[in-house]
Amino acid sequence: MRLLIVGTLKGQLTTATKIAIDNGASVTHADDNEQALRVLRGGKGADLLLVDVAIDIRDLVMRLEAEHIHVPIVACGIANDARAAVAAIHAGAKEYIPLPPDPELIAAVLAAVANDSRELVYRDEAMAKVVKLAQQIAGSDASVMITGESGTGKEVLARYVHTRSHRAKKPFISINCAAIPEHLLESELFGHEKGAFTGAVARRIGKFEEATGGTLLLDEISEMDVRLQSKLLRAIQERVIDRVGGSRPVPVDIRILATSNRNLQDAVRAGTFREDLLFRLNVVNLKIPPLRERPADILELAQHFARKYADANGVPVRPISADARRVLTTNRWQGNVRELENTIHRAVLMAQGDEIGAGAILTPDGDRLDQAKTPPAVAHATFAAEQVTRALVGRTVADVERDLILETLKHCLGNRTHAANILGISIRTLRNKLNEYADGGLPIPAAGGGEHRAFVQTA
């Protein structure tokens, strides 16, 4: 946990620092916004900013956004300054801590940001085999590919590998390759020099240098543009990187972990992922089975989340009733552990009486999980797949894929995110497919519903 304290904190700086260090944080100080930005650009990085309300927090938030630096801010101020607290939250701070600092409150905030509660909870033999392999290879510097469906716990397993390696006391840096626009991802990974492009107001150290000595997790690596993959391959092979706009290579010492919820062999065959990069990353493969294939983990995780969210919400810890356990174990859990966690969180809040009953096991829409009907869009996607299957003879895979994508999008009323989730593809892949179809003159359902818009390719 890396904490950057900005400002003087009304003389409480020493106390806040000691509390943070006692709770396992490494602490850096900055006097003002400009110095804080220099620290963040310089590669030290931070998982949390603790900022004096006397600092212009809105200015800091805007400058961080302008440079695409993503780090949560917690404001601090004297206990009775309610107006300053409200202003700080409105400016973009996630939380407000009154001074003098309370050790338990600061510890809770640090734990929430570090997400220390993300434990590796398992009981099923299928998951035990994966964990055993992770333990075997944790001490090496071998690159590891962690695969599995969305929500199975790939990042949790990656952190587990890091904390059991000889790099455990060094940074664990994660970057989501699917969440950052392609034109910014190179700079995020490798950094840039001042003036390298519009908006590059100063040198910025990238994630490779930030992770020096530690571990870099490339989350959803399958979403990385193939052109950037060649630069990534060189960085892994030669242990050097080139900052955008830089004139000389920079050596790095990191371990690479990567995750994907897709079959990368298929991506190699499709030409969207480099085979040589896959070989470099896939020295060891940790394949996490979906939750529906590890039934013994369902109740173990459910009980863990029930305790966790009872504590978090200040309610009594209730046992899960026999009927509720039956509902949980018979559900398919398409969203895996993430879906189960959200379901149990709702159940903790909705439960009445001495137990968490089946009536508290609800869908996000508030329906009982054991009585929920298949969503219309999902039902139509299934129907469309069946209809297409009956007419496969004489048609190409691309034709079948196109029809299924367009039919699903149509019945999602043009909602790209919903359609991508149903189809099991990323939103970026869906958009690329739609652009391809539009260039071919096909009508594409308008985003958010409405009439079809016909696009005609022009010379």
Confidence of residue 267 (pLDDT cuts 50, 70, 90): very high
Is residue 368 in a domain?
A: no
Phi, psi angle pair for 177, to nearest 5°: -70, -20
Structural domain includes residue 365: no
Residues 197, 310, single domain; the answer is no
**Per-residue model confidence (pLDDT) at position 456:** 39
Residues 105 and 135 occupy one common structural domain: no
**Of the listed ranges 20-29, 47-56, 120-129, 372-381, the one predicted with least confidence:** 372-381
The conformation of residue 290, written as its DSSP 8-state character, comes to: P
The residues near 390 (Cβ < 8 Å, ≥ 6 apart) are none
Give me the percent of the chain exceeding a pLDDT of 70. Answer: 89
pLDDT at 454: 39
> Of the given ranges (98-102, 123-127, 225-229, 268-272), which has the lowest mean pLDDT?
98-102
My answer on whether 135 and 282 are in the same domain is yes
Assign 3-class secondary structure to 166-235.
CCCCCCEEEEECCCCCHHHHHHHHHCECCCCCCCCCCCECCHHHHCCCCEEEEECHHHCCHHHHHHHHHH
161 with 277, same domain: the answer is yes
Verify that 279 and 212 share a domain, yes or no. Answer: yes
Q: Which of 17-31, 100-114, 189-203, 408-422 has the lowest mean pLDDT?
A: 100-114
Residue 367 domain flag: no
CATH code where residue 155 lies:
3.40.50.300
pLDDT at res. 380: 52
Residue 46 has what DSSP assignment?
-
Assigned domain for 120 exists: no
- Tell me the C-alpha to C-alpha distance, in Å, between residue 4 and each of 67, 73, 98, 306, 342: 17, 10, 17, 33, 31
CATH of residue 50's domain is 3.40.50.2300
**364 Rama sector, left if φ>0, alpha if ψ -120 to 50, beta otherwise:** alpha
**Of the candidates 227, 261, 287, which is a domain's last residue?**
287
Q: Is residue 119 one of the residues assigned to a domain?
A: no
Same domain? 382 vs 343: no
Residue 82 banded pLDDT, cuts 50, 70, 90: confident
Q: At what angle do helices 397-411 and 427-439 cross, to 10 degrees?
A: 110
The pLDDT assigned to 79 comes to: 65
Mean pLDDT score of the chain: 85
Q: Which residues pair with 251 in a beta bridge?
A: 240
- List the Cα angle 381/383/375 in 5-degree steps: 50
Asked whether residue 251 falls in the same domain as residue 150, the answer is: yes
Let me know whether 200 and 146 are in one domain.
yes
Q: How far apart are CA 178 and CA 371, in angstroms?
A: 34
Q: What is the pLDDT of residue 22?
A: 80
* Residue 253: pLDDT over 70: yes
Collapsing DSSP to helix, strand or coil, 378 comes out as helix
* Closest to 354 in 3D by CA, of 396, 319, 392: 319
Which has the higher per-residue pLDDT, 20 or 275?
275
The CATH number of whichever domain residue 297 belongs to comes to: 1.10.8.60
Same domain for 220 and 73, yes or no, is: no
Segment 43-58, tens digit of pLDDT? 777 888 989 888 899 9
In a domain, 369, yes or no: no
In a domain, 279, yes or no: yes
Counted domains in the chain: 4
452 band by pLDDT with thresholds 50, 70 and 90:
very low
HSE-CB at 174 with a 13 A cutoff on CA atoms is 17
Residue 115 confidence (pLDDT):
53
Domain match, 420 and 439 both:
yes
> What is the predicted pLDDT for the residue at 455?
38
The first and second tokens of residue 103, run together, are: 């050790």
**Nearby residues of 325 by Cβ (< 8 Å), 6 or more positions away:** 299, 302
Which of 239, 271, 287 is at the close of a domain? 287
Instruction: Based on the fold, state whether residues 304 and 271 are members of the same structural domain.
Output: no
Residue linked to tokens 């508030």: 366
Per-residue confidence (pLDDT) for residue 40, from 0 to 100: 87
Q: Work out the widest C-alpha separation in the chain, in whole angstroms.
A: 77
Last residue of a domain, one of 94, 114, 134: 114
Q: Given pLDDT bands bounded at 50, 70 and 90, which one contains residue 457?
A: very low
In a domain, 371, yes or no: no
Q: Residue 365 corresponds to which tokens in the numbers above?
A: 């829409």
User: Which is nearest to 152 in space by CA: 95, 220, 102?
Assistant: 220
Domain that holds residue 330: 292-360
Q: Are residues 268 and 147 in the same domain?
A: yes
Q: Is residue 137 pLDDT above 80, yes or no?
A: yes
pLDDT digits (tens, 9 = 90+) for 155-184: 999 999 999 999 998 999 999 998 888 888
Are the CB atoms for 191 and 203 separated by under 8 Å?
yes
Displacement of CA 143 from its chain's centroid (Å): 20
With vertex at residue 319, the alpha carbon angle to CA 314 and CA 321, rounded to the nearest 5 degrees, is: 135
Whether residue 317 is predicted with pLDDT greater than 50 in this model: the reply is yes
Count CB atoms within 10 A of the CB of residue 122. Answer: 20
